[in-house]
Structure 1
């Protein structure tokens, strides 16, 4: 019996001598969980200097050290490696975090633990062995990768190559697709098909089987609620937890596709409106003023053909009657980007002049800045207005025979068709001119005003002409309207009805 014990102790000393210099930590334990020996690497991994600091046995060890799995769940008593090996269990690659009890702020050490049971020649258990590898740096790197992966806004998933099942998914992928984490983790790449309708699907599947890089390609991801989303997908092989994996990353193209669709639809609507609008329109480039298109109404109204027009500059075509007006138009467009309601005379191919109201704006066509010109033919209206003004002038030569209401209506009708004049102020008139204007508003003729003011008739006529000039009006009726609009001489009215 004594010889057997000596032999066993001799073997233990030899074993201790062999393993004392190993980088892996080793602990020798009796079946009753007594800790009988630990090498320097094992002590260092626990942050202690002496074996006594590990505790005499499993119970003491559990009181000194808190162990948890990588998912942050604490180990129960029977899950401690010492308990498991004492129960005769042989295990490998158990990852645990080790920290001292009562010192949670201490840096956690990560051990990769496996067990070994030494038996004698008769099969009886001689020693229990725990072998620990320091996985702290690996765990830190893994944690850093985990944080980076989860925080990365670019959608991404990771699948294990051995069974092609997803083991990680980040928030970006979940938000892009609408999947939940449970929908993805544990499912295969064909159940949640990240290569759906990929433009080079066969190549992608081949590279996936080889564990090789999958080049960028477009694909259509199916959404859990129906429909698809256009993406660019790429695959990059990587090693994770000593397992070969594939990282799939994505670029969401759906926003771009919607924008392109909206742009195409907008361009189609613009083209239809441009063609069908009965008002003459043409488009020229902003840089060279070169005509690039015109609608049918423009060709019909001006008499030009597309061959004569397209590719020529606005200056070359000279259809703006006043040649000196062309450059100022483009100067305004370059400065403000648009023109609204400008009267313009346009020369047709037949040299006939057409009165128009011009509106112009800046548009972008195929990424090029262009100007769009719209002409409203007002030739007939101009002729009608001219005839109306002439008729009004004829009947207003003697305004004393008309009521105030009729005079104001006639004067307003004339003013609507007249060019706008610089605004004048009542204070621009002298005291005498104000007096004359007041008597005009009473409906007095020049002779009556001369008699009222005891002045010569020519003097009154000169005053009236000056009042007209300063106010920018051309008749008594217009002067009366001017004063009424400013609420001047409110208590006065025409003396004749």
Structure 2
């Protein structure tokens, strides 16, 4: 009777083991059963496949056989010693979980070696008395998972955007990249392991309540302005956002940042530049307008505009150039507008402008395109030359009053007086009498005396075509279009045809 009891226990144990094998045979995880005396006694198909073998014997019948066939390395590339192999640890009675190693065949094993990253868990199956009856080694292929984590780690470390990762279970920082360390001037040891309460990246967030509620619930934290406290006690303006992620099996929050300091410096510099421009614009003693390039709508005028032209800012701001009441000649206004639209600028164009009291001012207008807050604008400067022009005209009149005979007067001075009468009349250099040939001067002189083409032909004894050709060349050289224009041009220069123009006499130095 006593002899039969141990046999019955052994039989029951075999039945239980067969039932266990039946249950776990089809599991996706690899399962290896290890007997304290007999070693490796069974493995399911998943376990064989993870070791790249097809039969149980290929795993080895003992821990020593297993070590001879398979090489295990930690992820730091350190090879496991004999007492560190999961099989050896189980047989020594040690239970463990989450041992992650890289598995490969040893040089004495098969030539084909597909290295994999495996996660081992080991525990004992107790008998009725609580003693270990056998051991179970559970194996999971985590190659893809570990590869993904490695890729994430490399990407996270290399990403220039500042970032830090907080574990949600205890709100402690577990990762920080170089971008964040450079932005905030901390070392890695300053932050890893610290609590989010000690170093609060949401301390001054514009929507702190929303951000903290999202952090507690593991939800996305939308972008918002905040500050990061620096080691010296100062703060740095940032835009922060949070994205929930998992690292391993731990839920975390990935905080990313945009450093606002460069933009703030740029905005401050731009604001100071605009303030300087505004002060200069307001205090400039010359009438100045600022308008849009598109449509030339007036945005602002300075104080000198009101002083010189007599219009209040409210009378002109908001109106287009065409709507301003200042233009004496609409054609001149259209010419200015077309020049600005074509080239974006113009220089010292003479126009006449009207004040509210119907006083006509002679002015020079210059304009240049400028960019203000990313909008193209036109800065127009108006120079009042009324008094200067009146003084020039009075000087010319006085000289002409005392000059009845110009035969003794330097031809150079006569031509300069002609230029004073017509300032800026042409963009081309003014022609002079010296630009004409002796024959052309002779023909011009006869034209000034009132002779017709036929009379000039008779006077000079040349053909009709020859006279016409001389007159055409004279028109081109002095930039006129008819006989009257040529006569006026000659008389403005003291040339009447009654005497030949003498050589230019240099004036006194």
Scaled to the shorter chain, the TM-score interval is 0.7 to 0.9
Name the counterpart of 1:198: 205
Q: Deviations over 1:185-227 (max 9, x none)?
A: 3333234432131112234234323434433321112345675
Unaligned runs of 5+ in 1: 437-455, 480-491
2-structure distance, mates of 1:435, 1:85 = 124
**Aligned counterpart, 1:277:** 284
Corresponding residue for residue 90 of structure 1: 95
CA distance in 2, matches of 1:399, 1:320: 43
SS in 1 for 2:96: coil
Matched, 1:142 2:167: no
C-alpha separation between the residues in 2 aligned to 1:164 and 1:495? Answer: 95
Confirm or deny that 1:361 pairs with 2:363.
no
Residue among 185, 194, 219 paired with 2:192 = 185
Change (3 A) 1:132 1:332: same
Which residue of structure 1 lines up, in the alignment, with residue 43 of structure 2? 38
Aligned counterpart, 1:112: 119
- Relative to the length of structure 2, the TM-score reads 0.73
Return the alpha-carbon distance in structure 1 between the equivalents of residues 352 and 146 of structure 2. 81
Residue 93 of structure 1 aligns to a residue in which SS?
Answer: strand
For residue 283 of structure 1, report the CA deviation from its aligned partner.
Answer: 2.7
Q: Does structure 1 residue 24 correspond to structure 2 residue 26?
A: no
Shift of 1:160: 0.7
User: 2:223·2:240 contact (CA, 8 Å) conserved in 1?
Assistant: yes
Aligned to 1:163: 170
**Structure 2 equivalent of residue 100 of structure 1:** 105
Question: What's the secondary structure of 1:85's corresponding residue?
Answer: helix
Contact in 1 for aligned 2:431/2:478 (Cα 8 Å): yes
When the two chains are superposed, the root-mean-square deviation of aligned CA atoms in Å is: 4.6
Deviations 1:414-434 (A, max 9, x none): 7588434635899x9786559
Distance 1:119 1:318, change over 3 A: closer
Tell me the equivalent position of 1:422. Answer: 428
Q: Distance in 2 between matches of 1:34 and 1:399?
A: 136
Say if 1:400 and 1:496, in contact at 8 Å, map to a contact too.
no
Alignment check: 8 A CA contact 2:30 2:140 kept: yes
Q: 1:123 to 1:95 in 2, by over 3 A?
A: same
**Which residue number in structure 2 is paired with residue 482 of structure 1?**
none
Decide whether the 8 Å contact of 2:418 with 2:492 is kept in 1.
no
Between 1:318-327 and 1:380-389, the stretch displaced more is: 380-389
CA contact (8 A) 1:389 1:414 kept: no
1:136-165 C-alpha deviation (Å, 9 max, x unpaired) = 343344345445545655543221112211
In 2, Cα distance between equivalents of 1:336 and 1:496: 41
1:246 matched to 2:250? The reply is no
How many correspondences in the alignment? Answer: 461
2:363 & 2:300 partners in 1: Cα distance? Answer: 20
- Residue 305 of structure 1 deviates from its aligned partner by 2.0
Seen in structure 2, the aligned counterparts of structure 1 residues 17 and 43 have a Cα distance that, compared at 3 Å, is farther
**Contact map agreement 1:35 1:56 (CA 8 A) in 2:** yes
Inter-CA distance 471–114: structure 2 relative to 1 (3 Å threshold)? same
* 1:83-482 alignment runs, 5 A limit: 83-101=88-106, 106-118=113-125, 126-146=133-153, 149-150=156-157, 154-224=161-231, 227-363=234-370, 369-389=376-396, 398=406, 418-419=423-424, 420=426, 422=428, 432-433=438-439, 470=477
| Candidates 56, 66, 71, aligned match of 1:66 | 71
Alpha-carbon distance change, 359 to 422 in structure 1, aligned in 2, over 3 angstroms: closer
Q: How far apart are the structure 2 equivalents of 1:37 and 1:344?
A: 106
Give TM-score scaled by structure 1 length. Answer: 0.75
